């Protein structure tokens, strides 16, 4: 009896990766999904719970690679600080990030005897990492011929296709940022998918600039990266202050720190730095400035904003 072909799909939870799971299942491939929990992911489709639910409904194995702690966090942050292949319009090291993910997927695949690593990448969909040149660069540096079923027919044929492990004829030739073909396929396969939102916060200029400033001050680590993504931020006399903008952020800040003036006062404010009377006073001043909406009181802090 012929042994079933196995594939691991790089699974973000977005429509493209959901389609790849379905396309490979249609070819009777034994699919496993590999979800990378990254420090600066955002949006519904990057939610671990959302991704798990789809994998479960599809009857495929769901594996989490947690890059928010330990050795993987350190490796990932080193990439963000100094990307070999440069950045996009903001702090986003898209090519280096993709290489990191595929190398980790390769380790998992080799350990588990899986020959195919598949991705929902579409040629031309993302301006930095999904050009023909950069897809080739990523494959060359990782030593993996990534199978990209949505654009396979306009990309170089992979070994998996040449050797008949998968049927190239049943793949697609999608090119560019239009999602018309994907939407038609979603309807055909009855795939429910989240509205595109979020993605990587490093692509957003305001947050990217803030994270860059915090990295330069060596303030982002396993404990602080979550609060670097929310609220208003100030750097005053060597101290990092975070001010909540809404209830959800206030709850996160209150959970994070015991340096709050009072959990009953809003907005919540915490700080990372020396605990002294001067900094405690700054907490009170920030709470007053951003709870009353006083323009004059807020102007005082504008020059310290990061």
| 104 three-state secondary structure | helix
**Separation CA 168–CA 158 (nearest Å):** 9
Reported as a single tens digit per residue, the pLDDT across 137-153 is 999 999 999 999 999 99
Whether 62 contacts 56, CB under 8 Å:
yes
Whether 114 contacts 7, CB under 8 Å:
yes
Fold of 6-199: Rossmann fold (3.40.50)
The residue-averaged pLDDT of 186-200 equals: 83
**Separation CA 134–CA 90 (nearest Å):** 18
Q: Among 55-69, 142-156, 185-199, 253-267, where is mean pLDDT lowest?
A: 253-267
For residue 262, pLDDT beyond 90: no
The residue-averaged pLDDT of 192-202 equals: 78
**Separation CA 37–CA 306 (nearest Å):** 26
**Separation CA 7–CA 167 (nearest Å):** 13
Q: Which of 199, 233, 189, 247 is nearest to 24 (CA)?
A: 189
In the chain, what are the helix, strand and coil shares in percent, each to the nearest 5?
45, 15, 40
For residue 215, pLDDT beyond 70: yes
Reported as a single tens digit per residue, the pLDDT across 118-140 is 999 999 999 899 999 999 999 99
Instruction: Give the helix/strand (H/E) hosting 232.
Output: strand 232-236
69: left (phi over 0), alpha (psi -120 to 50) or beta: beta
- How far is the CA of 171 from the CAs of 27, 81, 119, 166, 168, in angstroms? 10, 37, 13, 9, 5
Mean pLDDT of the chain: 92
Q: Phi and psi for 294 in degrees, rounded to 5?
A: -70, 120
**Separation CA 116–CA 45 (nearest Å):** 23
**Separation CA 30–CA 5 (nearest Å):** 6
Alpha helices in the chain (DSSP H): 15-26, 48-58, 70-81, 94-111, 132-142, 159-162, 180-188, 205-216, 225-228, 247-256, 277-292, 295-302
Q: Which of 69, 7, 53 is nearest to 34 (CA)?
A: 7
Domain residues of the chain, as ranges?
Answer: 6-199, 230-302
**Separation CA 113–CA 101 (nearest Å):** 18
Reported as a single tens digit per residue, the pLDDT across 294-303 is 788 899 999 9
Reported as a single tens digit per residue, the pLDDT across 61-108 is 999 999 999 999 999 999 999 999 999 989 999 999 999 999 999 999
Report the 10 Å Cβ neighbour count for 286: 25
| pTM of structure | 0.92
What is the gyration radius of the CA atoms in the chain, in angstroms?
A: 22
């Amino acid at each position: 009896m012929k042994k079933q072909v196995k594939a691991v799909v790089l699974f973000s939870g977005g429509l493209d990766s959901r389609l790849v799971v379905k396309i490979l299942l249609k070819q009777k491939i034994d699919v496993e999904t590999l979800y990378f929990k990254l420090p600066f992911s955002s949006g519904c489709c990057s939610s671990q719970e959302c991704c798990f639910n789809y994998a479960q409904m599809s009857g495929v194995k769901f594996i989490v690679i947690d890059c928010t702690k330990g050795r993987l966090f350190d490796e990932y942050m080193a990439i963000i600080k100094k990307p070999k292949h440069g950045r996009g319009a903001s702090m986003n090291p898209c090519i280096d990030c993709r290489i990191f993910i595929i190398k980790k997927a390769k380790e998992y695949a080799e350990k588990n005897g899986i020959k195919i690593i598949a991705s929902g990448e579409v040629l031309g969909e993302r301006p930095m990492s999904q050009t023909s040149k950069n897809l080739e660069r990523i494959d060359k540096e990782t030593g993996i011929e990534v199978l990209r079923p949505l654009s396979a027919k306009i990309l170089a044929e992979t070994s998996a296709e040449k050797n008949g492990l998968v049927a190239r004829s049943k793949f697609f030739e999608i090119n560019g940022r239009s999602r018309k073909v994907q939407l038609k396929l979603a309807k055909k396969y009855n795939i429910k998918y989240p509205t595109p939102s979020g993605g990587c916060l490093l692509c957003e200029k305001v947050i990217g600039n803030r994270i860059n400033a915090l990295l330069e001050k060596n303030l982002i680590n396993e404990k602080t990266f979550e609060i670097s993504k929310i609220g208003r931020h100030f750097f005053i006399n060597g101290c990092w202050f975070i001010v909540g903008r809404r209830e959800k952020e206030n709850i996160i800040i209150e959970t994070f720190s015991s340096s709050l003036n009072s959990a009953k006062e809003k907005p919540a404010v915490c700080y990372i730095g020396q605990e002294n009377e001067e900094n405690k006073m700054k907490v009170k001043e920030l709470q007053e400035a951003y709870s009353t909406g006083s323009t004059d009181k807020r102007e005082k802090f504008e020059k310290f904003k990061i």
